[in-house]
Structure 1
Amino acid sequence: MIRKIAGNVFIYGFVNGLKSLVPFIMLPILTRYILPAEYGVLNLTDTCILFLSPLLLLNVNGAISVEYFKLSGEDFKAYVLNALLVTLISFLLFCVVLFVVKDTLSGLIGIPSSLVLLLPLFTFLRVISSIVLVIYQASEKPLKFGIFSIFQTLVDFGLSYVFVVILGKGYLGRIAGIYGAFAASSVVGLVVLYKMDIFSKPKTLKFTKNILDFGLNLIPHSIGGVILAMADRLFISHYLGTEEVGFYSVAYQAGAVMLLLGTSVNQAWGPTLFKLLKKKEDWKTIKELTLAVGVGFVIFAGVVFALSDLIFKYLIAEKYLRAQVFFGYLLLGFLFQSLYFLFTNYLFFYNKTRILAVITFGGAVLNLILNYVLIQKYGTVGVAYSTAITWCCYFIFVAVTAMKLQKRQYGL
C-alpha cells in the first residue's frame, strides 16, 4: 500500500510540478514584461475568480470525489450529469448578477468592468476539467490524470508566451493564456465524459438535492478559504496600492511551491484514506501514515526556506527583490495549509462539512481582523503575519476535530 501511495505521489507530484512550472517559469517573464501595478491587477482578477468559484461551481468536484465511492455505475453517471446542470444554471444566474453590478464591483475591487463581466465565464471554464480530473483521481488513474493535466499546462504556457512576450499584451495576455487553456481542456474533457457514457441516456435529477446540500453547506467553508486567499491582497490594494500587491503576489507565488507538495500528496493520499476508512482498517496504521506525511511536509518547508536566497537571486527580476521580506511568513502559512489538508479528508468522508464550514468561516473572520490590525502597524509584512497565524489556527482546530471524530467512529 505504501509503495502504491508513493508511486501515486510521485506521479501527482510530477504532474503538479509541471503545472506549477508554468507560473514559476512565467514569474521571471511576467516580472520583466508586466509592471508591478499591472501584476497586482492580474492577481486581483485571480482572487475574484477564487471567490466566485465556490458560489458558482458549488464544490461539485468535491461531491463527485466522495460519491464515487458510494454510488453504482449508472447512478454515478447521473450524479455527474446533475452536477453539470447545476453549475450551468448557476453560471447563467451569475452572468445576470454581475452585469447589473459590474461598475460598482469594478470601482470596489480595482479591476476593469470588462473583466468583471468575464468573471463568470472564466469560473465556469474550470468545471469540466475539474470534474474529469477528480474522477481520474478517485478511480486512481494517475497516468490519465497526468496526461490531461499536462495537455492543459502546455497550452497554458504556449498561449501565455505568445500573448505576453511575442504580442506584448501584458497582463491581459496572461489571462488569455490561462483561460484559453481552460477552454481547450473543457473541449477535451467533454469528449472524455462522453466516452464515459455520461451523456448517453436521459438521466434522473434525483441527485440534485444531494449536490446542493453538499455544495451549499460548504459555501461558508469555501468562502472562508477564499477570504483568506484574497483578503490579504484586497487589504494591501486598499491601504498601500496595487504596486504593493504586485510585490506581495510574487512572494506568494514563490512560496506556493510548498502548496505544490501538499496538493500532490493529498491527491494520492485522499482516495487511499477513503478506502481505509470505508473498510475500517487499523486506526494505528492510519495515524502513523498521517504523521509520516506531516513530518515530510515540515522537512520540505525547511529545505525551501534554506534555498530562498537562491530562488530570489536567479528566478525573480531585481525590481521585485523586496518581495523576499514576505516569503518566509507565507511559506510557513503554506506549510500549515498543507497539514490542514491532511485532516479535512476525514471530515469530508464522514460528511461533516457543516463543522468544517464553521471552523473555516470563523478562521476567515479572524483573518480579516488580523489583516486590519497588522497592516496598519507593520504594513505589507503584517498581512503575511496574518496569513501564517490564520492557517496555523485552521490546522489546529481541524486536526483536533478530525481526531475526535475518528476516535468516536472507531469506538476509542
Structure 2
Amino acid sequence: MNPLKKLAGQTVIYGLSSVVGRLLNYLLVPLYTRYFLPEEYGVVTEMYAYVAFLVVILTYGIETAFFRYSQKVPNKRTVYSTSLISLLITSAIFIVIIYISAQPIANWLQYPETPEYIKCFALIIGLDAVAAISFAKLREMNNASRFALIRLINIFINIGLNLFFIIYCPYSIENNLSSVEFVNSVYSEDIGIGYIFIANLIASIITFLMLLPEMIKSVWIFDKTLWKNMMIYAFPLLIAGLAGITNETIDRILLKHLLPEAVNASSELGLYGAFYKLSILMILFIQTFRFAAEPFFFAQEKEKNSKKIYADVMKYFVIITSLIFLIVSMFYDFIILFLGSDYHDPRGFKVVSILLAANLFLGIYYNLSIWYKLSEKTKYGAYLSIFGAVITLTLNFILIPIIGFVGSAWATLACYFSMTIASYFLGKTHYSIKYPLKRIFFYLGLVVSMYFTSIYLNSNKIDVLYIIIFISISFYLEKPKKAVISSPKLFD
C-alpha cells in the first residue's frame, strides 16, 4: 500500500478519537462560558496549564523512546513492560507526594479552600501517565480502532458527567424531579467548577481500567540495560518536552502574575483560555496528525524514498493547515458565537488569528523535527525547544504588562516561527530533506494575501470565494500527482 495513503488512512482513524472526540469535548466550552464567569473559567484554564507541565514530567519522553526501541529491539514486549513498570513506579510516587502536599500547594496557587482540586489532579495525571504507554503500544501495533474506541469512551464519559453535574443536577433540584433524592446525594452547588475536575477524574479511571488488558498481558520484565538506554534517548526529549510545554502553556500561568493590579487577572485568564479554544480546528488537526505521523515516520525510515515521502507529507500538511487558517479566521464572527456573551471581547479576533498562525508553524516544526529523531540526535530537540522557551518567556515578560494576553499570543507566534526556521537549517546540516519550498511558500503567501484583503473588504461573500479559490488552486496544482501517487518518479 502506498505509504502516503496508509498515513492518511491512519490519520482518519485516529481522527475519530482526537478530532471528532476532542471536538465533542470542546463543545463543553459553550457550556462553561455560559454557566461560569470568566474569572471562574480562569481557574480551570490555570489548573490545566499546570497539568500540561506535570504530564510531560511524568511521562519523561518514554513514549517516543518506546517507538524507537520497538524498532531496534527484537523483543517488543520487553520494551513495553520495561516502560510500563517505570511509569507505574514514578506515577505512584508522584500521587503520594502530591496527596501529602495538597494543602501547601493549594495555598501557593491561591486556592487555599480547595485542596481537593490538587488531590483530584494528582490522580488524573498519575493515571493518564500510566495509560499513555498503553496507548503508545496500540499506536505502535497500528491498532488504531481500539485506540480510537477507548479515547472516544473517555470523552463521552467526560462530556456526559459534565452535562449531568452542570445542567441536569441543578435543573432536577430546581424543578423537584423524581430523581432529586439521588441528585442531592451526589451533588452540591458549592462544588461548582470542581465538577469539571471530578468528571475528568472518573473518565481517567475508566480509561485506565479499559487499558488493563494490555497491562496484564505484559511479560512484566524490567530490563535495566534497556531502560537506561531508553532514558538516555528520552532525556533530551523530556527537556524538549518541558521547553515545548513552556511554549504552549506558560502564558496562561504568567498572566495571573504579570498583569497590572488594576486588571482582573482571573477574568483575563478566562477570556484568553476561551479564545485559545477557538483555534480548535488547527490544534486538533495537528494533534491527530502527530498521533499517526510519529510511528509512520519511524516505519518509513528504511524505505529507499523515505525522504521524498517526508517532503510530500510536509507539502500536503501546509495545504491543509493553510485552509484551516482561512476558514477559522474568515468566519470568526460566526465562531465567536460558540462562546457565552460574557466572552465576546473585541480582542478575540486578533488573538485567534495570531494563535492560528502560531499553531500552523508549530505543525511545520513537528514535521521538520523528524530529522533529529531519526538521526538519534534528540539533544537538538531539547536545544530548539529551549531556544523557543527563552523567546516565549522573554516576550511574555515584556508584552503582558503592556498589551495583556494579546502579547502572549504574539509571543507564541514568534516562538514557533523562530523554532521552525532554526530546525529547518539545522536539519539541512544533519539530515537533509529536500522540501518543496517554492510550493510551500506559494501556499503560505496566498493565504496571507487572502487574509489581509479579507479584513479590508469585510465581505462574507468574498471570504467564501477566497476559500473556493484556495481549494481550487491546491487541487489543480496537486491533481496530476494524485492520479499516479504510487509512482515515486513522478514526484521528482
TM over 0.5, shorter chain: yes
For 1:367, the equivalent position in structure 2 comes to 392
Identity of aligned residues (%): 20
For 1:350, the equivalent position in structure 2 comes to 375
For 1:254, the equivalent position in structure 2 comes to 278
Structure 1 position 368, deviation (Å): 0.7
For 2:226, the equivalent position in structure 1 comes to 207
Q: Deviations over 1:50-90 (max 9, x none)?
A: 11122222122222122222222xx3222222222222332
Q: How does 1:136-155 map to 2 (within 5 A)?
A: 136-155=138-157
Task: Find the aligned partners of 2:430 and 2:423 in 1 and give their Cα distance.
Answer: 10
Q: 1:207 is paired with a residue of what secondary structure?
A: helix
For 1:173, the equivalent position in structure 2 comes to 195
What is the CA RMSD across the aligned residues, in angstroms? Answer: 2.3
For 1:300, the equivalent position in structure 2 comes to 324
For 2:166, the equivalent position in structure 1 comes to 164
Bigger Rg over Cα = 2
| Amino acid across the alignment from 1:68 | S
Task: Find the aligned partners of 2:69 and 2:162 in 1 and give their Cα distance.
Answer: 36
Query: Which residue, out of 55, 61, 66, partners 2:68?
Result: 66
- Whether the aligned pair in 2 keeps the contact of 1:52 and 1:120 (CA below 8 Å) is no
For 1:383, the equivalent position in structure 2 comes to 408
1:187 to 2:209 alignment: yes
Task: Find the aligned partners of 2:307 and 2:226 in 1 and give their Cα distance.
Answer: 32
Going from structure 1 to structure 2, the CA distance change for 1:54 and 1:268 (only over 3 Å counts) comes to: closer
Q: Deviations over 1:179-202 (max 9, x none)?
A: 2111101111012333xx314x55
For 1:268, the equivalent position in structure 2 comes to 292
Q: What is the number of equivalent residue pairs in this alignment?
A: 403
Task: Find the aligned partners of 2:252 and 2:317 in 1 and give their Cα distance.
Answer: 31
Going from structure 1 to structure 2, the CA distance change for 1:344 and 1:179 (only over 3 Å counts) comes to: farther
- Whether the aligned pair in 1 keeps the contact of 2:281 and 2:324 (CA below 8 Å) is no
Q: Deviations over 1:300-352 (max 9, x none)?
A: 22222112111112x11111111444211111111111212112233223222
1:397 to 2:427 alignment: no
- Whether the aligned pair in 2 keeps the contact of 1:12 and 1:268 (CA below 8 Å) is yes
For 1:318, the equivalent position in structure 2 comes to 341
Task: Find the aligned partners of 2:221 and 2:248 in 1 and give their Cα distance.
Answer: 39
Going from structure 1 to structure 2, the CA distance change for 1:216 and 1:233 (only over 3 Å counts) comes to: same
Please report the TM-score for the alignment, with normalisation by the length of structure 1: 0.90
Task: Find the aligned partners of 2:287 and 2:388 in 1 and give their Cα distance.
Answer: 21
Q: Which moved more, 1:57-66 or 1:24-33?
A: 57-66
Structure 1 position 209, deviation (Å): 0.9
Please report the TM-score for the alignment, with normalisation by the length of structure 2: 0.76
For 1:52, the equivalent position in structure 2 comes to 54
For 2:310, the equivalent position in structure 1 comes to 286
Task: Find the aligned partners of 1:339 and 1:3 in 2 and give their Cα distance.
Answer: 20
- Whether the aligned pair in 2 keeps the contact of 1:333 and 1:391 (CA below 8 Å) is yes
Q: Deviations over 1:24-59 (max 9, x none)?
A: 210111111222112111111111111112222212
Q: Deviations over 1:76-118 (max 9, x none)?
A: 2222222222223322443454456545543443444333344
Structure 1 position 203, deviation (Å): 4.7
- Whether the aligned pair in 2 keeps the contact of 1:224 and 1:361 (CA below 8 Å) is yes
Structure 1 position 370, deviation (Å): 0.1
For 2:360, the equivalent position in structure 1 comes to 335
| Amino acid across the alignment from 2:70 | Y
Gapped regions of structure 1 (runs ≥ 5): none
Going from structure 1 to structure 2, the CA distance change for 1:346 and 1:408 (only over 3 Å counts) comes to: closer
| Amino acid across the alignment from 1:265 | F
